A and B are shown apart, each in its own frame.
Chain A
Amino acid sequence: MARKELTTTSRDNPGLKAWFGQGTPWVWLSGGAVSISMVMVIGLILLIAVRGLAHFWPAAVVEFDYVAVPGDDPVRVIGEVNRSETMTAQAMREAGFAVPDDQALVSRHLIKQGNRDVTGRDFIWYLEDGMSEWRYPADVVQIERLQWGDFFGFVRSYLIDGIAVAQGPQARAMFEEKLRETGALVEQIGRIERFDIGNVNFRMERLRLRQRGLELTVDLDPSTRAQIEAELEAEQTLLEDEYEVLEAQRQALRDEVGRFAITVETMEGRMVTIGLADIVHAWWPNDMSVPAKLSHYVGEFWKFVSGFPREANTEGGILPAIFGTVLMVLIMSVVVTPFGVLAAIYLREYAKQGPLVRTIRISVNNLAGVPSIVFGVFGLGFFVYFLGGTIDQTFYAEALPSPTFGSPAIIWASLTLALLTLPVVIVSTEEGLARIPSAIREGSLALGATKAETLWRTVVPLAAPGMMTGLILAVARAAGEVAPLMLVGVVKLAPSLPVDGNPPFLHLDRAFMHLGFHIFDVGFQSPNVEAGRPLVYATALILVLIIIVLNLTAITIRNHLREKYKSESD
């Protein structure tokens, strides 16, 4: 109806006043609101995607000579262009740059020049006016190190046991070849440290707790006590031996890797020696073909998704965070589904419908709108301090005063989020139940089925899409929720995953890492925000992807179920 009116007005070609009188401009303005919203949503996702994905691409490394104050000697700068912007000269003067008085606008570039250990600052703004022509030297190497971030420079020589065995291009070739070998060794060292030694440590801690538990047990006859003590002692010796072996292995590997090093010339012309043990990866970004860059890209992305974080989370991967997020959501789903569904069935099928149930329904509905931080406060007070504290007193007295369950843990985070998402599941399950025609229920009852049979055999399967919808919404909300988790279980850096090879394999009492919190932590609480920034975008991208994938999977299941039951109920 609206369309016709609009088009006729335009044909008459009215004056501006009449045009306003028709209301057309207001229609357009309200349409503009939709456009703005759309641009914002798509722009935001594109921003995250572009910034997140671009991080892994081996960007070209530029070299230029820079004159900070006219008349000074030029300084050579080597680095990656991080971003560029145009500012007013006045703002730049206030920021401490030397800008001529007659200049109005200034372009500047943020250069990631790495070498944090040498220069102290790895990101520096340079004004375009002081720069010479940009050059792209082919032999500049970018080195990703275990510590101190990236390094930019030129490989000058290759050392074995401190003696230079090759220079120049030959050194580069030998270094590249050796790095593949040492890379595998470094990885092996990492595995031994993280998993094998971690495992031994875990068992030692167990043993210590058992010894402490023995001390706390009062009524035990001396001979049994002595026997148990001897057993524990023997076990401890075994563990210590095991540790010795691992330690020796690790040391041997380290010694092997430690023999090799390279000397690299920095942009200031200084020679720096870097051991191969410290190098994760090295590449010559200006000397790479497109396929090589692509394979580098894929490799870097994979390392990001499957690696462990380094350097206060500003480098390395986010595997523990992905793992923690998914596991937490899984545990939450396992808890929330039966409880939510049963509560909904009770409210809709068993409870006597009346003002009380109506009130409860509205209240449950409104709980979904209660701020998540309130649930966090409840979780901290009730689950962690009260429930966890009680569990510790009862079952883990030997570990006190260090808490086992009485501190933030994945189980409490999952339970808190289960509580948070319970209203969502209840409401949509109820909606699903309400949609089922009463004829179906009555038909089943008329055929002699009991109420329970009617429910479980006919009503609940038909309402399954509703339940799935609820679970989807719950999962989507839980995966992105951070505020309550900050109180009940998330940590900046978890030393071990909540699942490992030690019985009982699933450690519900451990704190965990979470993608959302990772974003907050790296973006806002890390010592080097600029270095962490691309990683934050990449992490945000992964989180958005996980949420979208979770949603899509669940929506597919829902639609599938809906199709299935539609045909049966018709």
Chain B
Amino acid sequence: MNDTARSEARSSGGSDRGFLPDGEARRKLRRWRGVKDHFARYSVGTFGVGVIIALALIFIYLFSEVLPMLRPAGIDVASSYAAPGGIDTDTRYVAVNRHRDLAVRYTTDRRAVFFLPETGAVTHEVDLPLPADADVSAFTFAEPRTELVAYGLDDGRALVVQHRYNERFSETGRQYRPDVVFPVMDGSDPLTVIDTVGRRIKAIGLQRGSGGVSIAAALEDGDMRLVRFEERTSFMTGEVTVRRVVHELPPLPQSALATRILLDITGAHMLVGDDRGFLHYYDIRRPERATLVHSKRVVRGGGAEVTALDYLLGTVSIVVGGSDGSVSQYMLVRDDDNINQITFVRDFTSHGAAVTQVMPEYIRKGFATADAAGLVQIHYSTSARTLAREQVGDRPLAVIGFGARANALIAVDDRERFYHLDVRNPHPEVSIRALWGRVWYEGRSQPEFVWQSSSATDEFEGKFSLMPLTLGTLKAAFYAMLFAMPLAIAGAIYSAYFMSPKMRGLVKPSIEVMEALPTVILGFLAGLWLAPFVEGHLPSVFSLLLLMPLFMLITAFVWTTVLAPFVRQFVPPGWESAVLIPVVLFTGWFCVSLSPYIELWFFNGDMRQWLTDVGITYDQRNALVVGVAMGFAVIPTIYSITEDAVFNVPKHLTQGSLALGATPWQTVTKVVLLTASPGIFSAVMIGFGRAVGETMIVLMATGNSPVMNFNIFEGMRTLSANIAVEMPEAAVGGTHYRILFLAALVLFVLTFVLNTAAELVRDRLRKRYSSL
């Protein structure tokens, strides 16, 4: 070393002329060296800090992607103006398009007024072809996304109107040529006759489903009518023919008065709200034999009545607003007799005054409510949250309408003042309860834990319960640890304490090879080789579990008591493992060959079928296979840390124990294990952390179905595999995307905490060893 240093010094002196260069050169050189020293200090510092920041960035970035989900929603009044198209008539309905630059208002005086939601400037006005001699006696709207409304008249006729924004793109940007059309016609007359006698329509319901448009009406004397416009597409010509069919429905009981009629998109259900706080359910699957199935009081306050009622997107959930300000969600749920019952699902934050309107969102299961004291609230059904509230003016609100992307609301008060509201509500689906609790999803008979992030239909309710995934993660890790822990810890104790050094020299590299094996290889072997093998030789798995230790013990007994005197000079102690390798191979072969016979003797020739018969589900790629494969992956981790801990137990402890007459095994259990137990504990934790985060094995060796059980013969879906499967398809910035980031963050934090704890335990252990 000295040589090197000297030669370095000489070369940096850089002079052959004399022993020392002259003063000027030395000063320059020293300055130059100082500069280099500083440069090195600062550049290394910058790089070092930069790298550490880059690593910290992972956590920060993951968190920053999750953060928007935690931000509260908000409503703000952006502008307010007098009703576009005049304040001397009532607003019946308002809606805003998806770009928030055009809105429509339907009025009682038979007009559709298109206006700019920002300023209220009228851009277009359409007079609806309603007869002047009849009064508008009822009004309704279908699902907002259908852009359909219906007027009911006091002469028994009705008009169905669809507004269209007709968006087009040109050089100067988006342009609109809005108009209205009449999707159902009576011949050439857009007005359709509901009641031929000409009775007044008291309440009207409208919906468009896959079969066509349906209109339901309650007449002045309580009679109910259902008009269906059945669309049929001709196979020959592709022409659509519409057939108009009128059905009479049974009236409401005890001459209750219908206030609101709801029709669902499947054409199977009709719900009618009355003036006494009851909701009535009609089964209209066969309209000619329609029955009133069930009535239920849906407003709990005494004397309160239903003041607002609407379906949410998909027309499965019903939101009821009462005159007492209550907001509740109901659903049709099949009871034990397979009959639909109106069932209470959940409550939302109440209003202080009567709820005047419930307005569903266009593309999500959210809705807004307005009350008679000028308060607007927005809610979300799946997450059971009331997300935001805003006092809009001080007058009672009459009508509210959503923008198609739920980012705008228009509220109209009883003096026809319009309020244009900004709504910030990007992630309403998320709440602690939606992620971790049981949620009553639409179409289910009870609250459940479900993960189902996407589906083919627009009406789909995203089910983001992290419970099945977390449980799956723990299940996989549990079975992996069940397999790995005994093997790794026992093996480590043996190699650290009993094994001859020569054999150790063989075993340790093998275990290192085991650690280096890519998990994708383990996963593919588990999925393509082990899973079918286990399925075909199921009994051998269990017989191995029993026979392997038994045969080992028999071998040990024979070896130590009978054979020992003869073979000791060939196989010294410390090579027990080598002796047992043929035994392991033999047992494996024996169990596999025995497997079909066991199936014949005990399981009627097919254990898999037998399991199914006794009621145990069997998947080919199951937790057993994952446990073995992932156990294989964590064995080296646990083994090497445990071995380290056991090997480093101070020698004077074990020697003391042996000197006091303890057997080697007593020394191991009473001294070595106790001393090394923190090390073993941290090994298990690190192994567990690895099992929790392992992706490829679970992805390949399970069916990836998010089940909620610990059945060893069923698969699971873990957090990590779920990320790998769904991340590439999640829309950037959407709720699903952010929930996957949350899953990643959970994994990150979980493993980080586990590893840190393990590290601290090991650190303490090291200190203890050095002090012993």
Q: Is the CB of B556 within 8 A of A343?
A: no
A-side residues, CB < 8 A to B, are 1-3, 5-7, 9-11, 13-14, 16, 19, 22-42, 44-45, 47-48, 85-91, 94, 104-105, 338-340, 342-343, 345-347, 349-351, 360, 362-367, 369-378, 380-382, 385, 419, 422-423, 426, 440, 443-444, 447-453, 455-458, 476, 479-483, 486-487, 516-517, 519-520, 523-524, 529, 533, 536, 540, 543-544, 547-548, 551, 568-569
Contact of B727 among A345, A377, A443 (CB under 8 A): A377
* A31 CA / B632 CA spacing, docked (Å): 17
Residue B517 at the chain A interface, CB threshold 8 Å: yes
B604 near A90: Cβ-Cβ < 8 Å:
yes
Q: Which residues of B contact A (CB under 8 A)?
A: 1-2, 4-6, 8-9, 12, 33-34, 36-37, 39-41, 43-45, 47-52, 54-55, 57-58, 61-62, 65, 486-491, 493-495, 497-499, 507, 510-511, 513-514, 516-525, 527-529, 536, 548-549, 552-553, 555-557, 559-561, 564-565, 568, 572-574, 576-578, 580-581, 583-585, 588, 596, 599-600, 604-606, 608-609, 632, 635, 639, 654-655, 658, 663-666, 668-669, 686, 689-690, 692-696, 699-700, 720, 723-724, 727-728, 732, 740-741, 744, 747-748, 751-752, 754-756, 759-760
B528 & A536 in contact (Cβ 8 Å cutoff): yes
In the complex, the answer to whether A524 meets B608 with C-beta atoms within 8 Å is: no
Write 29 A-B pairs (CB below 8 A) sorted by A numbering: A2-B664, A28-B555, A28-B556, A29-B490, A32-B580, A32-B583, A35-B577, A36-B491, A38-B577, A39-B584, A40-B632, A88-B600, A88-B605, A91-B608, A338-B47, A342-B43, A346-B49, A363-B756, A373-B695, A381-B61, A419-B58, A443-B2, A457-B4, A487-B727, A487-B728, A517-B520, A520-B700, A529-B528, A540-B521
Chain A hits for B536, CB < 8 A: 85, 87, 91
Q: Which residues of A contact B490 (CB under 8 A)?
A: 29-30, 32-34
A104 touches B605 (CB 8 A): yes
Chain A hits for B507, CB < 8 A? 34, 38
Residues from chain A with Cβ under 8 Å of B529 in the complex: 47
CA distance A346 to B46 in the complex (A): 9
Known: A88-B596, A520-B696, A547-B516. A32 touches B584 (CB 8 A): yes
Q: With CB as the reference atom, state the residue of chain B lying closest to A341.
A: B47
**Nearest CB in chain A: distance from B177 CB, A:** 27
**Nearest CB of chain A from residue B199's CB, rounded to whole Å:** 58
A34-B491 contact, Cβ under 8 Å, with A1-B664, A88-B605: yes
Q: Which residue of B lies closest to A546 (CB)?
A: B518
Residues of B within 8 A of A338 (CB): 47
**Nearest CB of chain A from residue B608's CB, rounded to whole Å:** 7
- Complex CA gap A523/B493 in Å reads 38
Question: Which residues of B sit under 8 angstroms from A91, Cβ to Cβ?
Answer: 536, 599, 605-606, 608-609
A482 near B520 (CB under 8 angstroms)?
yes
Among B507, B527, B561, find the residue whose CB has the most chain A CB atoms closer than 10 A: B561
User: How long is the Cα–Cα vector from A38 to B48 in the complex, in angstroms?
Assistant: 41
Q: Is B497 within 8 A of A371, CB to CB?
A: no
* A172 → B minimal CB distance (Å): 37
Closest to B500 in A: A3
CA distance A440 to B523 in the complex (A): 48
CB distance from A238 to the nearest CB of B (A): 35
* CB pair A2 B497 closer than 8 Å: yes
Q: Are the C-beta atoms of A377 and B521 separated by less than 8 Å?
A: no
Q: Do A369 and B751 touch across chains, with their CB atoms under 8 A apart?
A: yes
A362 contacts B759, C-beta separation under 8 Å: yes
Report whether A13 and B47 are in contact in the complex, using a CB–CB cutoff of 8 Å. Answer: no
Residue in B39, B48, B552, B555 with the greatest tally of chain A CB atoms within 10 Å: B48
In the bound complex, do residue B518 and residue A516 qualify as a contact, i.e. CB atoms below 8 Å apart? yes
Known contacts A37-B639, A519-B524, A520-B523: A42-B723 contact under CB 8 Å? no
A349 to B555 CA separation, bound complex (whole angstroms): 56
Q: A340–B51 contact, CB under 8 A?
A: yes
A343 contacts B693, C-beta separation under 8 Å: no
A369 to B724, CA, bound (A): 18
Closest 3 A-B residue pairs measured CB to CB?
A23-B665, A346-B48, A371-B693
- In the complex, the answer to whether A385 meets B45 with C-beta atoms within 8 Å is no
Residues of B contacting A37 with CB < 8 Å?
487-488, 491, 510-511, 514, 635, 639
Taking a contact as CB atoms under 8 Å apart, the answer to whether A519 and B521 are in contact is yes
Task: Give min CB distance, A45 to chain B, whole Å.
Answer: 7
A339 vs B553: C-alpha distance when bound (angstroms): 53
In the complex where A41-B514, A346-B44 touch, is A27 in contact with B693 (Cβ < 8 A)? no
Please report the C-alpha to C-alpha distance between residue A351 and residue B498 in the assembled complex, in whole angstroms: 43
Q: Are B511 and A94 in contact (CB under 8 A)?
A: no
Contact of A31 among B489, B498, B548, B604 (CB under 8 A): B498
Partner of B553, one of A28, A87, A89: A28
A351 near B61: Cβ-Cβ < 8 Å: no
- Tell me whether A374 and B528 are in contact (CB under 8 A): no
Say how far B584's CB is from chain A's closest CB, in angstroms: 5
Residue numbers in B under 8 Å from A10 (CB-CB)? 560-561, 564-565
Q: Write the chain B residue with the least CB distance to A541.
A: B521
- Across the interface, which residues of A come within 8 angstroms of B689, CB to CB? 369
Contacts of A426 in B (CB 8 A): 51
In the bound assembly, the distance between CA atoms of A374 and B744 in angstroms comes to: 5
A543 to B536 Cα, complex, angstroms: 29
A66 to B491 alpha-carbon distance, docked (Å): 51
Residues of A within 8 A of B516 (CB): 476, 480, 547-548, 551
Taking the closest CB of chain A, its distance from the CB of B740, in whole angstroms, is: 7
**Complex Cα distance A47/B511, Å?**
17
**Which of B519, B524, B559 has the most chain A CB atoms inside 10 A of its CB?**
B524
Query: Looking at the complex, which one of B34, B510, B522, B756 makes contact with A42 (CB distance below 8 Å)?
Result: B510
Complex Cα–Cα for A517 and B2 (A): 52
User: Which residues does chain A contribute within 8 Å of B604, judged by CB atoms?
Assistant: 90
Min distance, Cβ B138 to any Cβ of chain A, angstroms: 48
B-side contacts of A342, CB under 8 Å:
43-44, 47-48, 51
CA distance A206 to B771 in the complex (A): 69
Closest Cβ neighbor of A359 among chain B residues: B756
State the CA gap A483–B690 with chains docked (Å).
14
Distance, CA A540 to CA B700, complexed state (A): 14
Residues A32 and B549 in contact in the complex (CB < 8 Å), given A5-B663, A377-B62: yes
A480:B519 contact, CB within 8 angstroms: yes
A371 to B724, CA, bound (A): 12
Q: Which one of B39, B54, B520 contacts A519 once the chains associate, using CB atoms below 8 Å?
A: B520
Chain B residues with Cβ under 8 A from A23's Cβ?
A: 663-666, 668-669
Q: A373 contacts B663, CB within 8 Å?
A: no
- Which of B495, B528, B748, B759 is in CB contact (< 8 Å) with A533? B528
Does A373 lie within 8 Å of B744, measured CB to CB?
yes
Residue of A with least CB distance to B609: A94
- Is A366 a contact partner of B759 (Cβ separation < 8 A)? yes
A482 B573 Cβ-Cβ under 8 A: no
Q: How far is the CA of A480 from the CA of B524 in the complex (A)?
A: 13
CA of A90 to CA of B755 in the docked complex: distance in angstroms? 50
The reply to whether A350 and B732 form a contact with Cβ atoms under 8 Å apart is no
How close is A508's CB to chain B, nearest CB, in angstroms?
A: 19
Q: Which listed residue (A32, A360, A374, A452) contacts B52, Cβ 8 A?
A: A360
A450 touches B36 (CB 8 A): yes
A568 to B561, CA, bound (A): 55
Closest to B693 in A: A371
Shortest distance in angstroms between B765's beta carbon and chain A's nearest beta carbon?
A: 15
What is the bound-complex CA distance between A28 and B756, given in angstroms? 35
Q: CA of A372 to CA of B605 in the docked complex: distance in angstroms?
A: 44
Q: How far, in angstroms, from A536 to B44 measured CA to CA in the complex?
A: 45
The distance from the CB of A354 to the nearest CB of chain B, in whole angstroms, is 15
A450 touches B51 (CB 8 A): no
Please, how many angstroms separate the alpha-carbon atoms of A10 and B562 in the complex?
8
Asked if B665 and A486 make an inter-chain contact with CB atoms under 8 angstroms apart, the answer reads: no
Q: Output the nearest chain A residue to B556 by Cβ-Cβ distance.
A: A28
- CB contact between A366 and one of B521, B600, B605, B752 (< 8 Å): that residue: B752
B600 CB contact (under 8 Å) in A25, A104, A381: A104
Q: What is the chain A residue whose CB lies nearest that of B733?
A: A385
Residues B36 and A452 in contact, CB atoms below 8 Å apart: yes
Contact B51 A524 (CB under 8 A): no
Taking CB atoms, residues of chain B closer than 8 Å to A90 are 599-600, 604-606, 609
